């Protein structure tokens, strides 16, 4: 005897029904597994009989800790406007002092309106976006067992309204478990040798915390041909620590109190942008100016010492291409065109 529903259809649920015999009538109720997958329990007319019918629901509908703000093209004005409503994952590493391209001071200056928040695209940023879909397709091909949604949009945590998540994708496994997908590109492998770089880890943990998801996949394409994957589990301790840092940052923005000074190029260039004009007047620097003079003298001495060591290393390498330190490739001799070779580190910094 075929199975039929006595009640109307349930919103957003597509039942996967297997053949059941000798059933006369039933009533249904909605339950939820620990993994978040929703199912229907149908009570049969036989007292000792229960049939469990698994259902497939919209994966994004399972996200209960955040609300969907919208879906716009990455980099568009609408996309930036949504992200600017709060703190996105890419900013968390900056606030934590882990971003080597932008300092916490620069982020603070942007959020307090001292400098413009949007910056022009660099070639690296542009090609990172262009290659994102390519890397995501590779991830899909590598995981036929996962159902991947690549139009996820921007989400806002219900409890912490400043917490914004904009993941590159969300995957669902056969049991209905959700996982975040984050796509990256890199020119050199150095930052990825020990796993996902810390500033990207904070971004992923921010997304997991915002969306209430327990697992993430990070896929990276290095140098255009080296594809790697990493699995990241939710880390409650790190998530709480990041939330604390972000809330401290937001208080600094609210009360216009600058973060502590540090020696990054980002902060130096930001201060230059904050004060672009030159007025014909004096400013007494006192001890601060004296400290800078002393530090600059030490810097010049250190530069001379480093240049001396560079000369000695080049001399010792002779015609060799690679310089090794404890069997690790650290230095290289390179040349531009027909010019004389110069010394660079492995990352390509002269």
Cβ–Cβ under 8 Å, residues 223 and 187: yes
CA distance 29 to 7: 11
Q: Rounded mean pLDDT of 299-321?
A: 94
pLDDT digits (tens, 9 = 90+) for 102-121: 999 999 999 999 999 876 66
- CATH code for the domain defined by 62-271: 3.90.320.10
Q: Rounded mean pLDDT of 29-57?
A: 42
pLDDT digits (tens, 9 = 90+) for 143-202: 999 999 988 999 999 999 999 999 999 999 999 999 999 999 999 998 999 999 999 999
Higher pLDDT, 294 or 33: 294
Residue spans in the chain of domains classed CATH 3.90.320.10: 62-271
CA distance 109 to 116: 8
Torsion angles phi and psi, residue 174, rounded to 5? -65, -20
Diameter of the chain measured on Cα atoms: 96
Least confident of 36-40, 199-203, 245-249: 36-40
Cβ–Cβ under 8 Å, residues 40 and 188: no
pLDDT attached to residue 303: 95
* Residues 258-289: b if buried by 16+ CB within 10 A, e if exposed: ebeeeebebbeebbeeeeeeeeeeeeeeeeee
Say if residue 348's pLDDT is above 60.
no
Higher pLDDT, 137 or 15: 137
pLDDT digits (tens, 9 = 90+) for 62-112: 999 999 998 877 666 676 666 667 899 999 999 999 999 999 999 999 999
Name the one residue in this structure whose structure tokens are 């010049």.
300
Q: Rounded mean pLDDT of 19-27?
A: 40
Sign of CA dihedral 34, 39, 43, 48: negative
pLDDT attached to residue 119: 65
Distances (CA, A) of 258 to 116, 185, 268: 16, 32, 14
CA distance 17 to 53: 6
Distances (CA, A) of 15 to 57, 149, 176, 235: 9, 20, 14, 34
Q: Mapping DSSP to helix (H, G, I), strand (E, B) and coil, where does residue 170 land? A: strand
Q: What percent of the chain has pLDDT over 70?
A: 79
Q: Can you read off the two tokens belonging to residue 317?
A: 């390498």
pLDDT digits (tens, 9 = 90+) for 41-54: 444 444 444 443 43
Mean pLDDT, the chain, as a whole number? 83
pLDDT band at 21 (very low <50, low <70, confident <90, very high): very low
Q: Please state the length of the chain.
A: 350
Strand 178-186 and strand 215-222: the pairing is parallel
CA distance 168 to 166: 7
Least confident of 92-101, 110-119, 274-283, 303-312: 110-119
């Amino acid at each position: 005897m075929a199975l039929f529903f006595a009640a109307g259809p349930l919103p957003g649920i597509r039942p996967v029904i297997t053949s059941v015999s000798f059933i006369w009538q039933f009533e249904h109720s909605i339950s939820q597994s620990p993994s978040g997958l929703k199912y229907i329990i149908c009570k049969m007319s036989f007292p000792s009989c229960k049939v469990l019918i698994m259902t497939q629901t919209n994966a994004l509908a399972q996200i209960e800790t955040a609300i969907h703000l919208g879906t716009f093209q990455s980099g568009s004005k609408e996309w930036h406007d949504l992200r600017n409503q709060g703190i996105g994952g890419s900013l968390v590493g900056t606030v934590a002092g882990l971003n080597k391209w932008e300092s916490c001071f620069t982020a603070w200056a942007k959020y307090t309106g001292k400098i413009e928040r949007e910056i022009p695209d660099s070639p690296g940023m542009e090609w990172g976006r262009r290659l994102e879909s390519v890397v995501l397709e590779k991830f899909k091909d590598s995981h036929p067992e996962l159902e991947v949604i690549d139009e996820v949009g921007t989400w806002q945590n219900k409890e912490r309204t400043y917490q914004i998540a904009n993941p590159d994708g969300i995957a669902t496994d056969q049991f209905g478990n959700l996982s975040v997908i984050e796509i990256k590109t890199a020119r050199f492998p150095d930052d990825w040798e020990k796993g996902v770089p810390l500033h990207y880890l904070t971004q992923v943990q921010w997304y997991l915390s915002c969306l209430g998801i327990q697992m993430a996949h990070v896929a990276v394409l290095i140098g255009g041909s080296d594809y790697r994957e990493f699995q990241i589990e939710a880390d409650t301790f790190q998530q709480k620590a990041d939330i604390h840092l972000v809330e401290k940052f937001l208080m600094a923005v609210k009360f216009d109190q600058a973060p502590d000074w540090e020696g990054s190029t980002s902060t130096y260039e930001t201060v230059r942008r904050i004060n672009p004009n030159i007025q014909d007047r004096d400013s007494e620097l006192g001890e601060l100016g004296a400290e800078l003079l002393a530090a600059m003298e030490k810097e010049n001495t250190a530069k001379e010492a480093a240049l001396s060591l560079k000369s000695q290393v080049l001399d010792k390498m002779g015609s060799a291409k690679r310089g090794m330190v404890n069997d690790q490739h650290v230095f290289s001799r390179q040349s531009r065109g027909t010019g004389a070779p110069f010394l660079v580190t492995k990352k390509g910094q002269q």
